[in-house]
């Protein structure tokens, strides 16, 4: 019973991956919108883009980690 609850929890934690996907999409989409308005400034901001994506994705990875812990470690 406890193991099954852990699996349910893991599934719930996996929702966080979708939330992180929204975040990454927001970052990339806004970068693209800005880049199309001012293409000359876009090249200098790709590093910022990747840093932003990395921060957004890290939180999704955290939720993935929680899911894994619930699946395998509990």
Partner 1 sequence: MATEAQGGEGGGLVFHPMDQFKIKPLFGGDTIEWYTVTNATLWMALAVLAIIGLMVLGTSRRATIPSRIQSIAELAYGFVYKMVEDVAGKDGVKFFPYVMTLFMFIVFANFLGLLPMSFTTTSHFAVTVVLALLVFLTVTIYGVAKHGTHFLGLFWVASAPLALRPILAIIELISYFVRPVSHSIRLAGNVMAGHAVIKVFAGFAAIATISPVSVVAITAMYGLEVLVAFIQAYVFTILTCVYLKDALHPGH
Partner 2 sequence: MATETHAAAGTAADAAHGAASAPGMPQLDFSTWGNQIFWLSITLVVIYFVLSRIALPRIGAVLSERQGTIMKDIAAAEDLKAKAIEAEKAYDKALADARAEANRIAGEARAAIQADLDVAIAKADTEIAAKTAEGEKAIAAIRASAVESVAAVANDTAEAIVASMGGKADAKAIAAAVTARMKG
Contact set with partner 2 (CB under 8 A): 68-69, 71-73
Among residues 51 and 68, whose Cβ is nearest to partner 2?
Answer: 68
User: Minimum CB separation from partner 1 for residue 47, in Å?
Assistant: 6
If DSSP states are collapsed to H, E and C, what string results for the chain?
CHHHHHHHHHHHHHHHHHHHHHHHHHHHHHHHHHHHHCHHHHHHHHHHHHHHHHHHHHHHHHHHHHHHHHHHHC
User: Minimum CB separation from partner 1 for residue 57, in Å?
Assistant: 7
By CB under 8 A, residue 72 contacts partner 1: yes
């Amino acid at each position: 019973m406890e193991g099954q609850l852990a699996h349910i929890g893991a599934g719930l934690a996996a929702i966080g991956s979708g939330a992180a996907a929204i975040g990454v999409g927001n970052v990339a989409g806004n970068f693209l919108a800005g880049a199309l308005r001012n293409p000359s400034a876009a090249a200098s901001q790709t590093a910022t883009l990747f840093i932003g994506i990395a921060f957004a994705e890290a939180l999704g990875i955290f939720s993935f980690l929680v899911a894994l812990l619930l699946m395998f470690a509990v």
